[in-house]
Structure 1
């Protein structure tokens, strides 16, 4: 049976913190990356797979395929870390019926159209609106870089934005 053990927004996708801390803490044995661009870019897929821990199954899927995959039960015991680059993708997956109870907000770097939202997070107005809509659905979003860090509920930060 498939279960999402961690849903994380982080524009770096697979990197040291995900590999060393979150995989170990969650007991995940699979990573699903929901991103249309990565799903169509073979080079990016190879890089991400090379960064993953040995034995970890990596699925790089379009948003539509990720939605279908995550809503199906699957076979065996698949404990999934779901990674997206933006809140909008998580919102899409929720709207499609994917069961996500809590989202961890990791890093979202500064780029055009974004302003600093929190320590390691920059977000555009649309990304902030997306997070507000997710929270209004009853899904908690916590800012937490690594498992040992105390999570900060984003609801308080959103009320200031």
Structure 2
């Protein structure tokens, strides 16, 4: 039976840390990027797919496409890694009935709307509210930048 083994927020989506450490750490064999921009940009999808190791299945879906596809994941034998840039993606999935036990915050860089949240993680007030909503729906939210780090429970930071 296929299952979600990692739901990660990282505004870089696919990069070396995901490809080397996290794939092995969770024994992933399929990566799904959930990002409307990436899903709708053929060149960007191709570049990301080229970064994925051979033997690892890769898909890039819009948020709506991911909901439809994740509703049917029980068939198959895949350990799925979900990657999204922002927490609102996971809130939409959860509200659509997709079961996600834990969301791992790995990389949220600073921008004009975000302020420091924890160490090198930044979040806007809106994103902090989304974290709270996700937690209230029964999904744990933790910060864990690299696999060697221990998890920091986000509920204690809100």
TM-score normalised by L of structure 1: 0.94
1:7-64 CA distance string (max 9 Å, x none): 1011111111111111001111000111111100111111111211221111100111
Tell which deviates more after alignment, 81-90 or 68-77.
68-77
Match of 2:3 in 1: 3
Match of 1:132 in 2: 132
Query: Deviation at 1:81?
Result: 0.2
SS of the equivalent of 2:73 reads coil
> Any conservation in 1 of the 2:144–2:151 contact (CA below 8 Å)?
yes
Match of 2:60 in 1: 60
> Any conservation in 2 of the 1:106–1:120 contact (CA below 8 Å)?
no
1:55-83 CA distance string (max 9 Å, x none): 11111001111011111135431110001
C-alpha separation between the residues in 1 aligned to 2:141 and 2:74?
27
Q: Give the CA RMSD over aligned residues.
A: 1.1
5+ residue gaps, structure 2: none
SS of the equivalent of 1:31 reads strand
> Any conservation in 2 of the 1:49–1:58 contact (CA below 8 Å)?
yes
C-alpha separation between the residues in 1 aligned to 2:63 and 2:136?
22
SS of the equivalent of 2:107 reads coil
Number of residue pairs aligned between Structure 1 and Structure 2? 158
1:120-147 CA distance string (max 9 Å, x none): 2111111111001001112111100112
Match of 2:101 in 1: 101
Query: Deviation at 1:2?
Result: 2.2
Match of 1:147 in 2: 147
Query: Deviation at 1:98?
Result: 0.7
TM-score normalised by L of structure 2: 0.96
> Any conservation in 2 of the 1:45–1:60 contact (CA below 8 Å)?
yes
